[in-house]
Every structure is written in structure tokens, then in C-alpha cells.
Structure 1
């Protein structure tokens, strides 16, 4: 009986409670409570899903992953081609070393493009809305070191919060290329003008060796800027960029110290020398700008787009590519955004490129770049042999007429007009063209300059051995075709061959001109003392072949009846 009364009391209480609530809702005495919101955490891997092309927006994301900053740490990326160290605070580059390339012949350390002072300038940093995201934001990272084998790829992903903007930077690496691809997503609760810019910084790309004897002596005699360790006057560090389909570069430190800005369709900006390059690039769909500067031995470039905006609740996609490595034709072939144009040969590129290909082809057979240069020189001389023959034939005929020309000059010493008329009449009567000796040489000048650029910018010649030791000694000699001859033997022999050529050629009619021509071998010898030995070898072999050709033509002319 007691239990029945208890159950009856409970049932009446529930009925009264439900009836009262129904009546209160009907009469509007109370309002229903809102539903409880459910927070969902999206995995980090989903943040990049549904990415849109650069400059476009992804659909608004209703649910954003929670941001929890982590302590900054260094992350190492090791591939068959290079070793890179990043810092998780912004994903900036701290160190970059290229495998397979020594700093110099006598140091086992590899070539390092980014380290020390350059790392302090936050290379590969992202600038947004005037902020350096590496130094003015909070970041998180939950990955680890990346170790890649050939044919494999890997990624690093850094997430940051910068002045209310959520930034996700993802870098993709490959075991087969020096290219590092970046894809960045930016979100904001409010509309923001991003003004994004990608940066690169590198110290002067020297060989870290003492100044050459020639550079030191030149400084002692002529003064000027003191030579830097390891930096040749033929291989200086400079800033370069590709704007509106054209290559540009700036090597003046005074200009770069003040800062240099260019605007247009700039595809890439780079710090480089003859053999290595550290570049940042992006596909320029609209006007881009490049700012470059130098300070305390560090070169910086910043490539940006001032017009991008991120709308509230949407995602802006930014993309860039980096190349840090050798200026090798094969390595640059796969680089995007015209980065292959960093390998530039000047106005004679159309001639230089085939010559580089020929040099590499010959090296494939002989296995020695010094021998390959000699063979290439012989082939070029054979190509121009008919033109050279005409030149030397004209020179020999001019030499035979020299006694008569001297008599005419003496006879008309006071009448220049009559003298020139008589000399021209002499040329016509003997069917001699006074310009015949010069024209074939002029035609060959573009080939020389093209070859000069090809040899000067061929990383294949860097540390390439021709004759490792001076004969009959243990003294290192031509063991680096990109460096000057340490004992100046080849430049001096080259100067002697030029002097012999001058003596074999017909003397100039004017005595002052004769003296100038005799000084030419001396001037060239001084210039070639600091040239890379590969260039000196080419010029020396070219002179020897020219002397032989000139000698054979002289014998043929002498044998002809007068």
C-alpha cells in the first residue's frame, strides 16, 4: 500500500510538471532555450583540402582547427642533393648546403649558400600586410626531420597566427631537384590587404679562399676596393631578376646598399655568381615587384604582389618556388617560372649555349675538360679556316706591297690627299683589298665573346682538372680550370704567341700605330693573368693554330712568282 501511494505521487508530479510546461509554452509565459553548439576539431591534414589556384578563394570554412603555438625548433631536410635546416618559427631557412660541391679544392666543407649572417635576414620568410611572419607571429609545428631518397618527395607544414590572420605554409621537397615548392593558405576573420612577399637572402657566394696574387698586386698598384677573399673580378656576387621577359642584373654594391626596386611582371629574383644561385620565384599573373639590397656582405631579394586581398571567412592561396643550387643546365631544366634564365650568357647567348653543349659532348668522350677545350678550339678553327685563309692571304699581299707604300708616303708626305689616292691606286692595280685582313676576324669576334661567356659561366669547369701537377714536380698546377694559373705559365706563353703573331703580320703604315700594336701582346698578357685558366688554354691553342695557318700561307705566298 505504501509503494502504491509512492508511485501514484510520482506519476501525479510528472503529470503536473509536463502539463504546466505545455500550458506555459501555449500561453507564451516562457521561451524555448537555444540548442547547445558542438565544436568540431578538423585534423591538420584537412586544412589544405580543396585548394584553389593562386589568387583565388576557397569556399568559407565554417569550422577552423584550434591553434596552439609550440616552442620553436630546427627541422632538418636531407636529400641526395642538399641539406637544409629550417626553423619552425615561420618556416624560415637557417642553413643550406649543396652536396657534391666543395668550398674550394683544399677544404672538405661543402658549398653553403645560407648560413650565419644570411640566416639572420630570415631567408624564405613570408611577408604579409607589412609583417614579417617569422618574427611577428606565433607558430606551431608537429612534424619532424625529412629524409629523402632519389625519386621521393616530402613536406614540411608550419601553422601560424599573425595579427589575426591564420597562415599555413607547406613546403614540398624532392630527392631529384633543387626546387622547393611552397603553397600557403591565409585566412582572416576580417577583410585584409595581404601585400604578400617571399624573400631570399644569401651571403657573398665566394670560394672562401685568400685573395689571388694578381688581385692583391693590382690593389697595391692601382688602389681601389680591397679584394675580397675568394671573389674573383670575373666571378662576383650580384642580384639578378627576370622582368617582362628579359634578364637583368645589378652588381654595384653602392646601388644595392641603398636598395633597388623594380616593378612589372617579375618572375624571379636571385642572388648569384657564375656558378651558384639562390632564387625565389612566382608565376606573375599581374604586376609584381622586386626589392633587393645589400648590407654587411649579405644580399637580399623580396618578391611580392601588392594587390591581393583575403575576404572574411575565406582562404587565399599563395604559391612560390625556390631554387638553391648550381647553375647547371640539367639541374635548371626542371625549374619553373623561367628560373632556367639564371644561366645567362649575355648578348651572345645564342652562340654560347651550343658551345657549352659541344664542350659537354666532347667531355663525354675524353673525360678531361682541358682536352675538351682544346678539341673544341680546333673544331672552331676548322669551321673558320676558309675565312682565316682569306685574311692571312690578304695580309701577306699587303706585306709584299709595304716597300712601295713606304715610297708613296715619303713622296707625298706633305699631301695627304694625293698620298691616299696613290695608295688606293696601288691596291687596285694589284687587286688587294686593304680590309680583307680584318673582315674575317671581325666575323669571328661574336664567336669569341660567346665562347668567353660559355667558359666563364660553366660550372663544369669549376674544380675541373686539366694537368693536376706541374710536370716533373708535385706542385699543383692546372687543377681548377675556373681559377687563374697559379704560376702564370700559360698567360706568359699566350703573350709570347701573340707577340709572334704581331711580328708575322705586316707592319702598320703609321709609326705610332706600329708601337701600339707591339704593346697589344703585353696588354693582353696582363689581362689574362687573372683569367680562369680554361679561357687562357682556349686563347693559347687558338693562337698556336693561327700561327701555323699564317706560316703555311706565308710559305705559299713566297713560293708564288712575284
Structure 2
């Protein structure tokens, strides 16, 4: 290749690189942080027209089959709506006094975007998104089944902050019959779990009966925590855990087709997205009804408890836990059995789970997630050393005797039978397995795919820096340097491999590094780092084996 040709190719490569950078600046897939908007009550003011106020609540036995509401259509009552602010070390919440629902959850430990001061908002109710946690008492006497709409609660303060070992926030509603319902939220330090307890003080002269419900309501908007549009995507939708199936995903499309309905002792219901989760976990020891439905464009997944009775003059309580936070395996395991399965590694979870454990163990030692990825790549490569060695030896022998195979092809021309016979004799004499370079690679693909899912699902990599220009391993390389290096290592690997005998196949193989480089441009940097280091290690191993095979005399 002359100097002029090298200069032209280099100039073309630089121009192409600048064009890709400019295109990504204008049209790239990196998600822009959504401008945060203050969450507001979903309930109308007293001056607005009547509405179907209970349309989101679970259906009760007294309702007709085609209705979602436990009461009739009615106007909202005229009391002033009020939002209560609650702050702990890891949670910032807004609770609507109308119904006592959690309408916003922000996570101060996780920022909205890299370098931002604003926390990531998981739950919210505004023009951007509707994603809230609702709970209440329905049934014969439940205040949330009242035809006049959901109950309005009162509190001592408008804002609360956790100081000490726990924070208890009581919302109180007194019914016309003298029944006092206290909706109690309990918070503890360093916990994404919120304990909900309903305390029913029946000061009336008649027995009281009701059911606890908890549900998560979300619209069909995109996942704000999804970092890339390329490759496989994390699941967005509802998840149920019952005794029949400990982990059952129900997508929004599934909800549109049919309602999910199951009765199970214990269990939980969650709404999952990339990196984060919200979940209702009922108290153990009772048979709960789990269901999903679509109402007014919102997707709802929740549970309803069995009926419980409170005798006149008596006090009873019912409780459940609500989790809103990151999908960190240890936190989910502590919250509920099988909740850690929402860190979804796909069908290869049995390979991915130990790899995830190993990645975190290495990080605890080295303190950098990028370095941890490098080390786990080395460990995986070491475990597969013999498998790779067999593949590389086969390819090295094919490369060594490539000229002889070409000579046989030219010698016999169109006589394919004689050519095949001569090839088989050469394979037997030199102990060449033509499939040896393929089968071991196929055998190790499950490990590669499993590790891909580990890196994709690990919330620990979100906004985690590596070195130099890589400040966030969960998003793409802003300058595409690592994908280009990865493509370069693929090209070097091809040079070490035997040239395919078919000219068309050889041309296709030469295009693969370019295609893979383009494909990896928008992959998260952590995934590209893994492939880059894996290629470098493969090149080193293949180079050594090639030299060994070339030094061997023929027939060995």
C-alpha cells in the first residue's frame, strides 16, 4: 500500500469520525434529563365539575362487572387538598392528603443526571408522568369506597424530616359515624422501605368491615432511567410474585389484552424499570387477591387483602410495606422473598448471578467499577482458557496450512470430490479439526451474554466513573474512542485468523469490524470496555498459540 493511499484512507477515517461526532451531537440517542416538574394532586378543586373520583380503585363485590369503582360517580368534596413533604436520608416523598397516596418519591442518593444536584425522581404526578403509589380501605365500610370520593386526611405538620431512629407520620380521618381511621407511615434511616399501617378505631355502635388495598399506577410513558436505545432493553412493566409463580412479568401490552388475576398467600406486586423498582409487599399470613387492569390510559397493578372486622368499641390494624428505590440485590432480598429476581438477568440467570456477585466482590477490593470490569473479564478469560486454546489452535493450524489448502484447490480445480478427499487427508495428517474454531466459541457464548446482562442491569454502574473521559460507565463513550479501539482489536484478530477460502466470505469477514464498531458506538461504555479487554486478551492468547503452531514440524 503506497503512502498516498494511506494518507487518503486516514483522512477519510478522520472525516468520518468527525461526522459521527456531529451527528450524535444533533441526533444522538443519549437521553436528555427531563426537566423536573412539581408533583400535584390528581384531584380537582371544588370549583371544577364532578368527576369519577374512584375510577382507579379496585372493584368490590357490590360493583357491576364493567366498573372499576367501588362507589358511584360523585363530585369531589370541597375540602382543601394539601401535600405533605417527608424527607429521610435516602427518600424524599410527597403525600396527598386526599386519599393519603404517595404521589412523588425522589432518591437523593441517585442524581437525575451526571453532575446534577437534583435527585432522580422515581414516582411523580405531573405533566411529565403519572407514576404513583395508592393505598386505602375499601369494602363494606372502607372510607375509600365512600360515594362522596376518597377520604381527606389531616396531619399535625405539613412537612416532616427523619431525625433519630424512626419517623412516624399519622394521617387521620374521622368518619360521620365516629370511626377514626389513622393512616400511619413509618420511616427508618438508610431504608427504601416505607411501612404502612391502617389503624381503625371503631367508636361507632356497629361493627365495621373493610379491606386493605395497595396498588401502583403508571402511565405508558418511556422509562426515564433507560440509558440506551441500542441492544437489549430492561423490562418495563408490572411483576407479580405468588406461590404459583415466584416471578411473573406482565407487560403493558399484556395488560391491554387481559387482566391479571390470582389469589395467593403472601407474595408481592411491583412496577419495574431499568435500575429502579417500586413494590407493594403485604404482611405475610393471609390470602391476597393480586390483579392488574387498565383505567383511563393508566396501567394499574395491586393487591387487595381479605376482609377484616372491627367490633364496636374495638381497635384493629392492618399493614403492608412499600419499597421504592434502586434494584440492589441485597436491599431487595431484605425487603421480600424473591424480590431480588426483579434484577432480571434473563434465561441465563444461573450464570449471570455468580458473575454479578464476583463483579461486586472485585469492586469491594479495587474500588472502581471500570477496573472491576477489567478484572472480571480476566477471570472469565482464565476460566475459559482451555476452551479458547483449543479454538485458537485449530485456527492457527488452518492458518499455517492455508497455502497448502489453496494449492490443492488450484490443483484439482472443479473436481470437488478429489479436492475434498485431499483436504480430509491433510486434516487427518496434520490433526486439524475444521470445526474446532467454531464449537468452543459457541460454547462460551452463554457466558458472554450473561455478563452482558450483568453489566446492563447493575444499578451500581449508573453514573460510575472509570478514568479520563469515561465519567459514566452506564452511557455511551461521548467520543467513541473505546468502540473504535474495540473495532481495531477485531481487525487485528482477523489478521491472526486464517483467511476464508471463499472470496465472498473473506470480504464479509473484513467488513465485520466496521459493522461491529458502528453497532457498539451507542452501547454503554461498561459493555464496550468488557468487549475491548476481552479482544485484547484473545489477541495475546492467539498470537502466542500461532507462534507455537508455526514452530511445530508438520504432522504433529
Normalised-by-shorter TM-score class: 0.7 to 0.9
Q: Take 1:304 and 1:415, find their aligned partners in 2: how far apart are those partners?
A: 76
Instruction: List runs of 5+ in structure 2 lacking aligned partners.
Output: 1-77
- Per the alignment, residue 197 of structure 1 pairs with 213
Q: Take 1:451 and 1:162, find their aligned partners in 2: how far apart are those partners?
A: 59
Q: 1:101 aligns with which of 110, 120, 141?
A: 110
- Per the alignment, residue 288 of structure 1 pairs with 289
1:182-234: per-residue Cα shift (whole Å, max 9, x none)? 23356794786x5653112357575589x98xx6xx9xxxxxxxxxxxxx974
SS in 2 for 1:478: coil
Compared CA separation, residues 310 and 151, structure 1 to 2 (3 A): closer
Conserved 8 A contact 1:102-1:109: yes
- Per the alignment, residue 533 of structure 2 pairs with 541
1:344-399: per-residue Cα shift (whole Å, max 9, x none)? 22222222233223222332333322122112212222222222122111111122
Q: Take 1:518 and 1:162, find their aligned partners in 2: how far apart are those partners?
A: 80
Conserved 8 A contact 2:112-2:120: yes
Q: Take 2:164 and 2:417, find their aligned partners in 1: how far apart are those partners?
A: 76
1:74-113: per-residue Cα shift (whole Å, max 9, x none)? 3232211111121233211132111221100143110111
Conserved 8 A contact 1:104-1:207: no
Which deviates more from structure 2 when the two are superposed, residues 118-127 or residues 524-533? Answer: 118-127
SS in 2 for 1:359: helix
Q: 1:124 aligns with which of 105, 129, 134?
A: 134
Instruction: List runs of 5+ in structure 1 lacking aligned partners.
Output: 1-68, 219-231, 469-476
SS in 1 for 2:539: helix
Compared CA separation, residues 424 and 143, structure 1 to 2 (3 A): farther
Q: 1:184 aligns with which of 182, 191, 198?
A: 198
- Per the alignment, residue 428 of structure 2 pairs with 428
Conserved 8 A contact 1:205-1:276: no
- Per the alignment, residue 189 of structure 2 pairs with 175
Q: Take 1:162 and 1:355, find their aligned partners in 2: how far apart are those partners?
A: 59
Please identify the structure whose Cα radius of gyration is greater.
Answer: 1
**What displacement does 1:531 show?**
0.9
Q: Take 1:114 and 1:503, find their aligned partners in 2: how far apart are those partners?
A: 52
Q: Take 2:301 and 2:426, find their aligned partners in 1: how far apart are those partners?
A: 63
Compared CA separation, residues 262 and 423, structure 1 to 2 (3 A): farther
CA RMSD of aligned residues (A): 3.7
1:269-321: per-residue Cα shift (whole Å, max 9, x none)? 3223221112222248446323155977x75432335x646587587754322
Conserved 8 A contact 2:235-2:273: yes
- Per the alignment, residue 60 of structure 1 pairs with none
Q: 1:480 aligns with which of 465, 472, 479?
A: 472
- Per the alignment, residue 5 of structure 1 pairs with none
SS in 2 for 1:550: helix
**TM-score, with length taken from structure 2:** 0.72
Which deviates more from structure 2 when the two are superposed, residues 425-434 or residues 133-142? Answer: 133-142
Which deviates more from structure 2 when the two are superposed, residues 547-556 or residues 511-520? Answer: 511-520
Q: Take 1:537 and 1:379, find their aligned partners in 2: how far apart are those partners?
A: 15
Q: Take 2:389 and 2:296, find their aligned partners in 1: how far apart are those partners?
A: 54
Conserved 8 A contact 2:111-2:120: yes
Q: Take 1:506 and 1:264, find their aligned partners in 2: how far apart are those partners?
A: 60
Compared CA separation, residues 332 and 309, structure 1 to 2 (3 A): closer
**What displacement does 1:538 show?**
0.8
Q: Take 1:514 and 1:281, find their aligned partners in 2: how far apart are those partners?
A: 57
- Per the alignment, residue 503 of structure 1 pairs with 495
Conserved 8 A contact 1:464-1:479: yes
The equivalences for 1:78-477 within 5 A come to 78-117=87-126, 123-126=133-136, 128-129=138-139, 132=144, 136-144=149-157, 145-149=159-163, 151-159=165-173, 161=175, 167-184=181-198, 189=206, 196-202=212-218, 234=233, 237-243=236-242, 244-250=244-250, 254-256=253-255, 260-263=259-262, 265=264, 267-282=267-282, 283=284, 285-286=286-287, 288-291=289-292, 293=294, 300-305=300-305, 308=307, 310=309, 318-406=318-406, 420=420, 422-468=422-468, 477=469
Q: Take 1:529 and 1:365, find their aligned partners in 2: how far apart are those partners?
A: 30
SS in 2 for 1:455: helix
1:240-272: per-residue Cα shift (whole Å, max 9, x none)? 333434433355x55556675243548233223
Which deviates more from structure 2 when the two are superposed, residues 344-353 or residues 282-291? Answer: 282-291
Conserved 8 A contact 1:205-1:272: no
Q: Take 1:399 and 1:175, find their aligned partners in 2: how far apart are those partners?
A: 63
**TM-score, with length taken from structure 1:** 0.71
Compared CA separation, residues 259 and 478, structure 1 to 2 (3 A): farther
Compared CA separation, residues 191 and 171, structure 1 to 2 (3 A): closer
Which deviates more from structure 2 when the two are superposed, residues 320-329 or residues 194-203? Answer: 194-203
Q: Take 1:497 and 1:554, find their aligned partners in 2: how far apart are those partners?
A: 17
SS in 1 for 2:334: coil
SS in 2 for 1:90: coil
Q: Take 2:326 and 2:155, find their aligned partners in 1: how far apart are those partners?
A: 32
Which deviates more from structure 2 when the two are superposed, residues 166-175 or residues 255-264? Answer: 255-264
SS in 2 for 1:520: helix
SS in 2 for 1:181: strand
Conserved 8 A contact 1:87-1:93: yes
Number of matched pairs: 464
- Per the alignment, residue 43 of structure 1 pairs with none
